Amino acid sequence: MFGQKQARATSPTDTTDGTNGQPQGEAPPLSLVEKAAPAPARTQPAEGNEALVRSDLFKTIRSGVFAAMNPSAAVGKTREQMKPAVETLVLDVAERERLNITISEQVQIVGELLNDMFGLGPIEPLLADETITDVLVNGPDQVYVERHGRLELTNCKFRDNAHVVNVAQRIAAGVGRRVDESSPMVDARLADGSRVNVVLPPLAIHGASISIRKFSKRNITLHRMSQQGNMSLAMANVLKLASTCRLNVIVSGGTGSGKTTLLNALSHFIGHGERTVTIEDAAELQLVQPHVVSLETRPENAEGLGAVTQRDLVRNALRMRPDRIILGETRGAEAFDVLQAMNTGHDGSMTTIHANTPRDGITRLESMVMMANGNLPLLSIRRQIASAVHLIVQIERMRDGMRRVTRITELVGVEGDVIITQDLFTFRYDASAYSEEVKGVFETAAVRPAFTQRAAYYGLEDALLDAMKP
């Protein structure tokens, strides 16, 4: 057995299935392996060959385990219930194939088999790592993660593209969606709320792509964000008061800037006696209030029918007697209906938008309203925006990986055909201290917020003026 192990580790004729050209599941003749292995290499195998052989060894055991396993025996069982049976099968296959594996390799193989059966294959350990915020699969051989705002290449690999597609289809099926050649793109979510986007070939040229935005298991609050340096304490206090006073808030920022996380933090100050309706493409908002109705869009079926868009859900939500409507992201014609809702008694509504500055966010809103109703004059659209939206909170992921609220802007009104805004807070970057870490200060503007009178209605005027002190 030991002679065979050394021979396998150095054989230049090993094939991908680890059987030296033999049918999978049959052990190669020992004499052939020994003849192919040069004697000097027995004690010092090449590092690349050793890694290749261990990979082939796993493939051989995996094939043997799944061939010997009764699929019906695993139905309805948990990972822990199946673990002893898988361990036994791994040992049986290793003994039958005369493979020498260490205890640590056995543990690793069993873990990977269970990940394939009950999880998402090789990326399952990455999802369990709380320091990772994004998992990005670019085909079978390239898996990146984002940790502390920076991308890192991992050593995780899938067996082949079919393995990646299988994992993607399992994710989509878990939320009642499908992804295949006829429908090669899908937005989905994992059981923990993590957001997933999948693109399959032929759209993804170099293999199936899976992008996972992990759901943080930590309860992120405005206070914690201020402690982490994402915003100042004064900014956190003003945002808390804005949510409590039922201001309509738009969170603006780029991809991966932390818009949804900030939206979740703002939602903590929604009253427990209010009825809230959330609308999303892939449900990821985690509201803590007891009275929440979560709605999710539905893509069209194989016949091109049955699609339910965000605009459909916003219109329907207005008939559900909501106190607040929270739209996960505004990016199309539903912007018109959202503004209508904000203007018709659904104060305290919130949404996110992709934009680089608050002023850009206003321009994008105008464009999206025009998509829904091109006959509306621009001045009318701007008046609607100015009366519906109270605050735009701009958040940005900076070059050091830190997400920071760079501006809190208040919409004051319309003068002529221009929407008047004022910045309550601004992050001022220190250009003289260039380094890996971005340095700067959160500045408080010496202005009286336009929603001071509204805060007085809720008995919070003094708290607001205290928070605005420079």
Which domains are seen in the chain, by residue range? Answer: 48-118 (no CATH), 121-217 (3.30.450.370), 222-468 (3.40.50.300)
- Per-residue pLDDT tens, the chain, 470 aa: give them: 334 433 333 333 343 444 444 444 444 433 323 333 333 333 334 444 444 445 677 778 877 877 777 766 666 677 777 888 888 888 888 888 877 778 888 888 888 888 777 778 889 889 889 899 999 999 999 999 999 888 999 998 888 899 899 899 988 888 888 898 888 999 888 888 888 999 999 999 989 999 999 877 777 899 999 999 999 999 999 999 999 999 999 999 998 899 999 999 999 999 999 999 999 987 778 888 999 999 999 888 777 788 899 999 999 999 999 999 999 999 899 999 999 999 888 899 999 999 999 999 999 999 999 988 888 899 999 999 999 999 999 999 998 889 999 999 999 999 988 999 999 999 998 887 777 788 899 999 999 999 999 999 999 999 999 999 87
pTM of the predicted model as reported, rounded to 2 decimal places: 0.76
Gap between the Cα atoms of 416 and 274, Å rounded: 37
Tokens of 86: 């898988």
DSSP 7-34: HHHH-TT--TTSSTTSPTTSPPPHHHHH
Tokens of 66: 């799944």
Please name the amino acid found at residue 468.
Answer: M
Q: Write out 150-204 in H/E/C secondary structure.
A: EEEECCCCCCCHHHHHHHHHHHHHHCCCCCCCCCCEEEEECCCCCEEEEECCCCC
Tokens of 82: 């199946």
How open is the CA angle 370-249-311, to the nearest 5 degrees? 40
Which CB contacts under 8 angstroms, 24+ apart, belong to 193-201?
Answer: 193/283, 193/284, 193/286, 194/127, 194/284, 195/282, 195/284, 196/171, 196/282, 198/168, 198/171, 198/172, 200/165, 200/168, 201/161
